[in-house]
Structure formats: structure tokens, C-alpha cells
Amino acid sequence: MTKKLPDMEGPVCPLPRPHQDRIVLGHGSGGKMMADLIKGTFYPPLANPVLLSGNDAGVVQIPDNVRLAISTDAHVVSPLVYPGGDIGRLSVCGTVNDLAMVGAKPAYLTASFILEEGLELSLLKSIVESMKAAAEEAGVEIISGDTKVVAHGDADGLYISTTGVGWLDPDLQIGGDQARPGDQVIISGSIGDHGIAILEARGELGFKTNLKSDTAPLNQLVSAMLAVSKNIHVLRDPTRGGVATTLNEIAQQSNLGIILDESSLPIKPAVAAACEMLGFDPLYIANEGKLVALVDPDDTQKVLEAMRQTRYGSDAAVIGQVEKEPRGRLLMKTGFGSSRIVDVLAGEILPRIC
């Protein structure tokens, strides 16, 4: 008597289809597999006539009477997806924000991808969708790109480098060396949210918060500010190294002192608790949707009011001011009436934060 065959009812199991749901080296070949990846994964969400032209460079018109601003960033954040964002949203916002911080209107982005063999295609697709959403929110288009694939173990999922170009009013002079004594230091909202959210997403926090990263495009916030004041001297987004490192850079570039008022720093309870526990100073924790602005004292109130009308500036606050001394340094006035020098970050506290 032959052995009874196993029950053949139930769902049909398809044959395994290797290479159909993951990145393989062939996706970086320059040939048919790469063309299919680009047409299947990158073009559908990002499509625009310049990108679809398929030439080696994108070509666009330039408005009259502008200067060109250009900025680039590599993005290596880990994990790739975190509460409040992912590497796709981050890569668009990071570059949009760098352009906005010189006062430029971001217009076009390029994106180059380094993909690790084995990366899930569905994850890549969701990250590209996220780039599209962030680009739409910021009002920019991605018009040129590149894809490379490296062997398993030669990257960590994927890295994205974005470069942005924007148009800059010829009269605008915003930069770290433009600070003046008396300028008020404004922050657009609470500090440290991104860094602590990433830490929690990595499972390194030890307790649960409802914190989300602040990853956001700030160009519309900057437009609202520039619409009410011609006396915004410095704009900077305090990413790696946090507010402390950013303000130190400005103090050095302008050779002036910046005096912070500790009690005015907007810090969420979850960020304060996490920093307390881990021995971090929130002034050094990265932000990805905040800016500091150094503004003439006469214009500070109207700039603040304009910021508070916008989505990403609703918690804007004055946190300090510029003085002649201590030249090139950042000084913190504490709640106890004392003051201390706040230096730049020396080494590394949170690798791969952006």
C-alpha cells in the first residue's frame, strides 16, 4: 500500500522567486535590471519631465535676477525608519533646510542612492514615497539621480546623498558672520526631539516615550520670517552637534559672544528625562526640523509672531542674545544666576543620527 500523500488542499505555495523582492548587485549594473529598478521604483512617485528626460544631467530654467545656492548632504541615519520620519524624508528635509538657512528658495534636488545587496525592495519603495511626500510639502522637485549597489556587508541598508539648488535674492545677506551685538536668538521650537527619538528607535533608551523626530522642511517657515523682516542676520538648523555647536560656530564666525538663558530653552519632558538619565545635555542633541535665527531686536517680536503662525514655528521662543563678549564663545546663564561657557561637542555622542 502506498503512503498517503499529504493533504494538497490549502493555499498554493508559489515557487520561490529570488531577486524579485530584494536588491541584488545586478540592480547597479547600468543595464536592464537597473533600468527596471529606476522605472519601477523611482520614476512612479518622483516623475517630472526633467527626471524623465533620461539624459545624463537635468536642465532647468533660471529665474531672473537671482543668485544660486547649492548644498549637499549624505544621509546615513540608523534605523532607516523611525517615529516621525525615515531616511527618505530626512534626506529631502536636510537639504531643503540647508538652502533655506542662507535665505534661498529651494527649487530642485538630486538624489544618489547607495543600496546594499539584500535591501528589501518594499522598504526602498516606501522610502522613495516618503521622499516624494517631503518634496511635495517643501515645493521642490527631484530632477536627477543615481543608483549604486554594493555587496552585502559593504553598507547598512541604504545611504542617500541629496543635493539641492535654490534661488537667492541678490540683496539677502544671511550667514554666520552677519551676527551683530544686540541680536536676539530665536529657536523655532523644542530641542533634542530628533536625537532622542532615534535613540528610542534603536532600543537604546530603556523606557518608552511618545516622542517623534521633528524631521521637517523649514523653507516655508523661513519664507514667513523673511516676509516680515529684512533684519534676520543668521539662520542655521542645529542638526549634528545640536544648538550648542551651532551657536558656537556662529559666535566664531562673527567673533561675538552669544549668551543663552537656560530657563527659556524649550525642552519636552521626555527629552529632559532621557537626557537626565543618559547624562546627555539637550543642547548637544540633534534636531532635524528646528532653526535658530539671530534677529535685530527691533524686529524680533514681528518675526516671532510670523513664526508662530506656521506649522513648524508654533513654539518659537527667544532663548538668548548676542553681545560683544565673550568673543567667539557661547555662554549659558543658568537658573541659579551663575553662568558657564558651553563648548562645541568634542567627540561623538550619537553616531549616525542623520
Residues 139 to 168 in contact with its own copies, rule: CB under 8 A: 143-151, 153-156, 159, 161, 163-166, 168
Amino acid at 146: D
Contacts of 217 (CB under 8 A, 6+ apart): 92, 93, 96, 97, 100, 106, 134, 137, 138, 289
Our finding on whether 30 is near its own copies (CB under 8 A) is: yes
Nearer to its own copies, 136 or 154 (CB): 154
258 closest CA partner among 279, 275, 272, 238: 238
Residue list 259-318, contact with its own copies (CB under 8 A): 284, 286
Grid cell for residue 289: 526640523
Element (H, E) at 243: helix 242-254
Provide, rounded to whole angstroms, the least separation between the CB of residue 11 and its own copies.
31
Q: Which stretch binds its own copies (CB under 8 A): 111-119, 259-267, 306-314, 320-328?
A: 111-119
Give the span between the Cα atoms of 45 and 130, in whole angstroms: 9
Binder of its own copies out of 75, 105, 132, 290 (CB under 8 A): 75
Residue list 233-252, contact with its own copies (CB under 8 A): 236-237, 239-242, 245, 249
Nearer to its own copies, 149 or 211 (CB): 149
# residues near its own copies by CB under 8 A: 88
Our finding on whether 16 is near its own copies (CB under 8 A) is: no
- Using the CB atoms, write b or e for 63-99: b if 16+ within 10 Å: eeeeeebebebebbbeebbbbbbbbbbbbbbbbbbbb
Give the span between the Cα atoms of 35 and 25, in whole angstroms: 13
Our finding on whether 38 is near its own copies (CB under 8 A) is: no
Our finding on whether 211 is near its own copies (CB under 8 A) is: no
Provide, rounded to whole angstroms, the least separation between the CB of residue 319 and its own copies.
19
Provide, rounded to whole angstroms, the least separation between the CB of residue 210 and its own copies.
26
- Bridge-based pairing state of the strands 257-261 and 292-295: unpaired
